[in-house]
Amino acid sequence: MKIDWNKKYNTIAVYVFLVIAAVILFYLGLSRISDLFDKIEVVISILQPFIIGFAIAYILNFILKLYEDRVLKDDYLKKIKIKKKRTLGLIMTYFTAMLFIYLFSHFVMPQLIDSISRLANNVPKYGPNIINTADEVMRKFKISQEQMDTISETLKNVSSHVSKIVIDFIPTIGTYAAKFASRLWNIVLGFIISIYMLADKEKFAAIFKKVVFSIFNKNYSNKILMLASKSNDTFGKFFVGKIIDSAIIGVLTFVVLSIARMPYTLLLSVIIGLTNIIPFFGPFIGAIPSFIIILCVDPIKALWFIAIIFVIQQIDGNLIGPKILGDSIGISAFWILFAILVAGKFMGIVGMIIGVPVFAVIYTIIKENVENRLDKKGLKTDTRDYYDK
């Protein structure tokens, strides 16, 4: 018996089979998602030295470019072969990095460890300090005994909670320090790998272009390379600008807190400077634990601390930040908030830091695609033209 194969129904059957197979694979993937993440984590742990090396190379590349473009550009140095110029630039770049690490470990790190140790030892004293200060304030304002008892009881509960937060916060620092120490070998390897990456960065870029052109047609390849260039520009401006901005804010905070005679000045300045890298929420994330630490020592100074941080953040937001960062992100405050919340939900602190530049690149791609489509249709591309009038 001869079967009459109908091409139309054969095509439908193939599509149905592919859809069912895709659904089954998707379901199996979801059911084994934990195993998948475990495998991804294993791969990331294996590649960790290379990931760290790429991150170090990416940051130090800006210093290398500064040396090669600004310092090593004299007439005599122009006669030097490119490899010798690159070698000299690498030596200067890594000397700068090692000098910074030495200064930080020699001058800042011992004081940080001392501040954390003193904080841990003095935690039991902080509860009574808060209660005694509150009693003095209540006597000064002639508050009734019944109200004083209620406030004192409330303060005892608050001080116990604050002490618990401080006590829990200190082991967290120790945990991160232990993780850092356990990954020290990977960091050393990453440092070495970064040297090779920077030494042959043009070659790596050329290999990437070669692979792109071998897979895609010329039109798509140019778009991919343009996207890569734009992403590099956005990330570079954002991270370098944020690091410089946060360093300035950390130093400014240290100077002002030292003048105000705040306790644990260096520790608080480091916390404020580091958390300032996180856009939008960074000042609040840094100010809350800092406020709690000062509150345990001197509640009145804690209030002054909030006022000082508010003034510093206003200076940063309206003067320092715009001067350094400019319009490197190119998205509104709403989208910055959206990017931080979404990326932070999935990737934690790392997501809060990289979420903004990642979203800025995605936003730029979508914006350009929409405007190109409108332009082909002969329609206006300016958003203001679509406002309801």
Domain spans of the chain, in order of start? 35-199
With 70 as the cut, is the pLDDT of residue 6 above it?
no
User: What is the C-alpha to C-alpha distance for residues 158 and 138, in angstroms, rounded to an integer?
Assistant: 17
User: 137-169 pLDDT, tens per residue?
Assistant: 666 666 655 666 665 666 566 656 655 655 555
Q: Looking at residue 1, what is its pLDDT?
A: 44
Q: How confident is the model at residue 180 (pLDDT cuts 50, 70, 90)?
A: low
User: What is the C-alpha to C-alpha distance for residues 13 and 20, in angstroms, rounded to an integer?
Assistant: 10
Contact 262, 299 (CB under 8 A): no
For 361-380, what is the mean pLDDT? Answer: 81
User: What is the C-alpha to C-alpha distance for residues 278 and 341, in angstroms, rounded to an integer?
Assistant: 11
* pTM of the model as a whole: 0.69
Asked which of 176-185, 219-228, 305-314 is least confident by mean pLDDT, the reply is 176-185
Provide the CA 191 distance to its chain's centre, in angstroms.
Answer: 20
Joined tokens for residue 325: 């960062």
Q: Which of 160-169, 210-219, 335-344, 363-372 has the highest mean pLDDT?
A: 210-219
Asked which of 265-274, 284-293, 300-309 is least confident by mean pLDDT, the reply is 284-293
Contact 324, 302 (CB under 8 A): no
What does DSSP assign to residue 332?
-
What does DSSP assign to residue 106?
I
Contact 116, 170 (CB under 8 A): yes
Joined tokens for residue 389: 């009038």
Q: Looking at residue 127, what is its pLDDT?
A: 58
Q: What are the distances in angstroms from CA 388 to CA 129, 334, 373, 384?
A: 60, 21, 21, 9
For 265-287, what is the mean pLDDT? Answer: 82
> 238: which residues sit within 8 A by CB, 6+ positions away?
325, 328, 329, 356, 357, 360
With 70 as the cut, is the pLDDT of residue 224 above it?
yes
Q: Looking at residue 94, what is its pLDDT?
A: 92
Q: Looking at residue 298, what is its pLDDT?
A: 76
Asked which of 73-87, 127-141, 192-206, 365-379 is least confident by mean pLDDT, the reply is 127-141
Q: Given CA atoms 273, 47, 231, 338 in this order, what sign does their dihedral have?
A: negative
Q: Looking at residue 98, what is its pLDDT?
A: 92
> 368: which residues sit within 8 A by CB, 6+ positions away?
none
For 94-99, what is the mean pLDDT? Answer: 92
At residue 81, the 3 state secondary structure works out as: coil
With 80 as the cut, is the pLDDT of residue 61 above it?
yes
User: What is the C-alpha to C-alpha distance for residues 15 and 289, in angstroms, rounded to an integer?
Assistant: 58
Backbone angles phi, psi at 196, to 5 degrees: -65, -40
User: 277-294 pLDDT, tens per residue?
Assistant: 887 777 778 888 888 778
Joined tokens for residue 14: 């193939």
User: What is the C-alpha to C-alpha distance for residues 131 and 299, in angstroms, rounded to an integer?
Assistant: 10
Backbone angles phi, psi at 79, to 5 degrees: -80, -15
